[in-house]
Structure 1
Amino acid sequence: MQGVLFCNDTKCRRQISSGSAWVTSCCHVFCHEDGKAIIENGRICPACSMSLNKKHGIISFEPNPDKAYRSMILLGQRPDIVMDICQKAISGWMYQYSNELQYRELMLQRSERKIADLKQFCEQLETEWQKANKAMKSELSSRDSELAALKKQYNEVSSLLSSKSRQCKKLEATCHRLTLASTAPKMDGAGDSRSETEFCLGRIQSSTGSPIGHQRTMSPMVRFSSPTKHPSDFSRSALFPTHSPDIGSTDYYRRLFSL
């Protein structure tokens, strides 16, 4: 910072090292653009709001003049004037130096406050993140437990389903065998019963010498439903009523022949 001036406008803060600049009677320094804006906008110092007179309130200077300018600027002035000018110039420089220090300290304090706020905010975020992370870990653990329980239940149901499927297949096979076993004897029995019935009717015809339908007298065990019907209308159900479990069997005809 030593040997360097900065524009005292807080919106500018441009470093003044070459070219032309402006200085006010209140010892504030501005860059060329801001100095011209002060002159055009009513000669009010933007740093301290002091009114600047028209003649010597604000003047232009060169921050880095050449040797010819330095050798000519104070020529012809009495030593006391030169010393007074030098004293005021050094005082103005020290004022700028102290102002710059205050400005830097102020910016440092602001930066420290922002850093403290950011640190507090980061700590708060870290605390919230830790809580959220802990909650997520707990939730993940519970979900893992539920998943393990569901897998175990799935395996049990799968094994039970496989067992039931095998039992169902066995029952289907058993039912099929029983169905075949129950239908086959009935068909054979029906054929045997029919053949036995025809054999018995033939025995009756051969013993009487006439068809079974033309006989007028029968055993008292055989009763017709209507004597006026034609003999051809007599069916096996009429000859052998279903209310007697022995009629239609071989033993029945054997008893009939023995009478």
Structure 2
Amino acid sequence: MEGNFQQRRPGHTMSVCDYSLICNFPKCRGRLSGFAWVTACSHIFCDRHGSGEFSRVPAICPACSSALSGKLDIVRTELSPSEQYKAMVLVGLRPETVLDISHRALAFWTYQVNQERLLMEYSLYRAEVQVGQMEKLMAQQNQSKEHELNAMREEIASLNKRLEEYKQKYSEVSELLVKRNRQYQKLQGLFETLRLRTVEASDKDGLNHLFPSGIIRQRSPHSTPPFIAAGPEGDKLFQSFLEPESFKSFFQFSSPPREKGHSFIKKN
């Protein structure tokens, strides 16, 4: 209970006088000073809460719920009385009466100190229980988090392994792609070569279809003669020109037939 004990000086031994009573009102728990309300059930309250609680009839102790119906069951007292009051309050009383009053006052003080100690022990016990529960919960959470962490580590290791496999596959695919690109470039070159040959062959086939004899017409006076340009077929044609029958037929002219009884008359 913070504030229950007054601050001590260095080297000062704590005594009962250094202890301050605490208001027994559950929601107050403040140190008492000035005036206080004391009950027959050995409880004490600050002036503010005592005035508020004991102004009702019948009066009920806020600490133990005891009924306080007697005339002296509730007393408002000054905690720091004057010297004149202390000099006169017990004057004329017999010694045994003074001792009895002092004994009852000390018993009340001891009860308050013991109650405060018990309350502090109970608060400490509850705090220890709460700390134990929190430690248990924390241990469970740490264990759960450790399991999750191990699972995440295993998952990361698995993902790293898969990543390495993907990298290896990517490397293999990249090498295969480079090889395929080279093959594609080679096939493309072969295709272009074959296409050009096909076009040239198509052009030659078209010329042979137009000129079956293999003779190509001269396009200019400086071009090669047909029988020379025609290759082997040109040699055969040249030899056929040199044969007598062919030579004779080549230079023989035929005139158109004339009808009998008709003559050509040249008109001026």
The normalised TM-score by structure 2 is 0.69
The counterpart of 1:85, out of the listed 101, 126, 130, is 101
Distance 1:91 1:124 in 2: 48
Deviation at 1:193, TM superposition (A): 5.6
Q: Write the distance in 1 (CA, Å) between the matches of 2:205 and 2:102.
A: 148
Q: In 2, distance between residues paired with 1:199 and 1:45? A: 142
CA distance in 2, matches of 1:139, 1:7: 60
- Select the residue among 31, 40, 51 that pairs with 1:15: 31
| 1:94 match | 110
Q: Could you say what the CA RMSD is over the residues aligned between the two structures, in angstroms?
A: 2.9
Deviations 1:16-67 (Å, cap 9, x if unpaired)?
1x22111001111111122112212331112222111252111111222333
Structure 1 residues 44 and 193 mapped into 2: Cα distance closer, same or farther (>3 Å)? closer
User: 1:196: how far off?
Assistant: 5.6
Rate the CA distance shift 1:190–1:4 in 2: closer, same or farther, 3 A.
same
1:140 pairs with 2:163 = no
Match of 1:35 in 2: 50
Work out the percentage of aligned pairs sharing the same amino acid.
Answer: 32
Counterpart AA for 1:33: R
Residues 188-203 of structure 1 aligned to structure 2 (within 5 Å):
188-191=204-207, 194-195=210-211, 197=213
Q: Deviations 1:130-177 (Å, cap 9, x if unpaired)?
A: 111111100100000011101111111111111111111110111001
Report deviation, 1:195.
4.5
Give yes or no for contact 2:59–2:69 (8 Å, CA) kept in 1: yes
Q: 1 CA distance for matches of 2:41 and 2:206?
A: 138
- Structure 2 unpaired stretches of 5+: 6-15, 217-232, 247-268
Q: Which range moved further: 109-118 or 80-89? A: 80-89
Number of residue pairs matched?
210
Q: Which secondary structure state, in structure 2, belongs to the residue aligned with residue 77 of structure 1? A: coil
* Residue matched to 1:181: 197
Q: Is the 8 A contact 2:23 2:31 kept in 1?
A: yes
- Which one-letter code corresponds to 1:40 in the other structure? S
Matched, 1:60 2:109: no
How far apart are the structure 2 equivalents of 1:153 and 1:198? 61
Q: Which has the higher helix share?
A: 1
Deviations 1:165-196 (A, max 9, x none): 11111101110011101211332453356456
TM-score normalised by L of structure 1: 0.72
Q: Which has the higher contact order (CA 8 A, sep 6+)?
A: 1
In structure 1, the residue matched to 2:87 is: 71
**Following the alignment from structure 2 to structure 1, what is the Cα–Cα distance between the partners of residues 215 and 26?**
136
What is the rounded CA distance, in whole Å, between the counterparts of 1:115 and 1:158 in structure 2? 61
In structure 2, what is the Cα distance between the partners aligned to 1:198 and 1:155?
59
Deviations 1:210-245 (A, max 9, x none): xxxxxxxxxxxxxxxxxxxxxxxxxxxxxxxxxxxx
Distance 1:94 1:70 in 2: 21
